[in-house]
């Protein structure tokens, strides 16, 4: 889409607010919603990869505009034939949160082999998705206003640690999940379940350790 001048995903989520409300100290609700969803969409897409993950240049930090290479239709303009990495690197804008989240996510994705997805669970009433890929359990809550305490999800038997939370302050979140927490499965019917705290519009990745 961006190659032909259309809006990027983050631009469709936040629209013109990207020009005015990306300062870290600006609590704009539409921008916060867009950033939260952008993280969840990337987390789910990357987590479900079947051996590879292709990212379009700039999406890793939520570049606000499209890419449009010089052509007759834009009078051979170079105006949009670039990515503004300075937006991510200046330290004062929310683009840094998105870029840091992507870097942390990719570090985990590189550890996942090309194994099958296991324990895939979609609960439309709760707006949640969970699945295991390799030794990593992905749990995502798309609900805009409903958090879940002691939320049970199926998992491979064992103990887990928190590997990533989209709710970390470093990623623009509220830090509602303790990184020192440990999670343990318990038998349930012919499966094993694990209980987590899952805030609204938050995705977590747990890593199996035992």
Q: What CATH number is given to the structural domain containing 147?
A: 2.60.40.1180
Q: Looking at the structure, do residues 124 and 59 belong to the same domain, yes or no?
A: no
Angle at 98 between CA 95 and CA 103, to 5 degrees: 125
Q: Which of 171, 130, 180 is nearest to 154 (CA)?
A: 130
Q: Specify whether 93 is located in the same domain as 130.
A: no
Which residues in the chain land under pLDDT 70?
1-6
Quick one: 123 and 102 in the same domain?
no
Q: Are 61 and 147 found together in one domain? A: no
Instruction: Output the pLDDT for position 82.
Output: 85
Tell me the pairing of strands 202-208 and 117-123: unpaired
Number of domains in the chain: 2
Packing angle of the helix pair 29-47, 95-109 (nearest 10 deg): 10
> Of the candidates 77, 109, 141, which is a domain's last residue?
109
Looking at the fold, whether 125 and 167 belong to one and the same domain comes out as yes
Question: What residue has token string 């034939």?
Answer: 81
Q: Check residue 3 and give its pLDDT.
A: 47
- Domain match, 140 and 99 both: no
Q: Is residue 98 domain-shared with residue 140, that is, in the same domain? A: no
Range of the domain at 198: 117-208
Do residues 7 and 105 share a domain? yes
């Amino acid at each position: 889409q961006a190659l032909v001048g259309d809006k990027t995903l983050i631009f469709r989520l936040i629209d013109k607010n990207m020009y005015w409300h990306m300062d870290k100290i600006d609590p704009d609700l539409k921008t916060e919603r867009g950033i939260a969803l952008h993280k969840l969409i990337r987390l789910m897409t990357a987590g479900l990869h079947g051996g590879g993950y292709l990212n379009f240049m700039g999406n890793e930090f939520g570049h606000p505009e499209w890419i449009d290479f010089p052509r007759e239709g834009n009078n051979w303009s170079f105006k949009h034939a670039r990515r503004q990495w300075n937006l991510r690197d200046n330290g004062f804008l929310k683009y840094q949160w998105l870029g840091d989240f992507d870097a942390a996510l990719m570090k985990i994705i590189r550890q996942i082999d090309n194994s099958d997805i296991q324990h895939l669970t979609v609960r439309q009433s709760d707006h949640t998705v969970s699945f295991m890929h390799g030794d990593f359990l992905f749990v995502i809550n798309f609900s805009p206003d409903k958090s879940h305490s002691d939320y049970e999800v199926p998992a491979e038997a064992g103990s887990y640690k928190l590997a990533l939370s989209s709710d970390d302050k470093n990623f623009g979140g509220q830090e509602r999940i303790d990184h020192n927490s440990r999670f343990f499965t318990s038998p349930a019917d012919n499966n094993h379940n694990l209980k987590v705290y899952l805030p609204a519009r938050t995705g977590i990745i747990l890593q199996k350790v035992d």
